[in-house]
Amino acid sequence: MAGRGLLGAWWWARGLGPVRQVGDPVLRGAAAPVAAGQAGGAEVRALVGALVRALRREEGCVGLSAPQLGVPLQVFVAELPERLLRRAPPPAPRPARQMRAFPLRVFVNPTLRVLDARLLSFPEGCRSLPGFSAAVPRYQAVLVEGLNEAGEETSWEASGWAARIVQHEMDHLQGILYIDRMDSKTFANLRWAQLAE
C-alpha cells in the first residue's frame, strides 16, 4: 500500500463500482475507523464523493455506507431530498413514519447514542439486497456524532425516519444487515405481484 495512503491501492484500482450485494464478505465485517489525521484528507474526500454519487445514482436511495462500495471504513452518507419524499409510499403513512426531508449528511467514524428508546417497526429495504423489504424495529430518536468530510466535528439529533436511516447505516459499519434485525414474517419480495401474474 506504500504510496497509496489511507485507502490503499485496492481502492484506487477498483474505482467506483456497483453497490456490493449480500454475500460479499465486505458487508459482513466490522469497518475500520479512519485515522484521525486522515479524516479531512483527499482520499476520504474522494471516498465521500464516490458515496454521494452512488447514493444519488441509485433510484430512491437515502443512505449508503463505505462497505457497500467495497471500502471497509467507518464512513456513511445520508440524504432525503424533497423530491424523494414526494415519491415515498402513500401520503397516509408518512406522518406515522415521521418522514421529513433532510439535506446531505456525511459522517466519518460515527458514534451513536439512543435518545428515545421507543421502538417503531416499519418496512426497510437496502441497495445491497434489492427488491426485498421487511419490518425492522428501530429506536425513535438517536444522536450521531463524528467527523465530516473536512475532518470537522459534526453531530445530528435524528428522529423518526431519519433516525431509522442512521441506524441502518450504522449497522452496515458493524457488518449487520437489516435482515439480521427484521421480523422474518414480514420479509417480502417487492415484485411478488408481478411475478405471480
Concerning whether 124 is annotated as a catalytic residue, the answer is no
> What is the rounded distance in angstroms from the CA atom of residue 96 to the CA atom of residue 10?
43
| Rg over CA atoms, the chain | 17
- Tell which residue, 4, 73, 76, has the closest CA to residue 33: 73
Residues 6+ apart with CB under 8 A from 169: 63, 64, 65, 76, 78
Residue among 93, 89, 103, 172 at smallest CA distance from 133: 89
Q: Which three cell numbers stand for residue 186?
A: 414480514
Q: Which residue has the cell 485507502?
A: 7
Q: Which of 79, 124, 149, 169 is catalytic?
A: 169
What region, left, alpha or beta, does residue 70 occupy, with left being phi > 0 and alpha being psi -120 to 50 degrees? left
**Cα–Cα distance for residue pair 195/191, rounded to 1 Å:** 6
What residues are labeled active site? Answer: 169
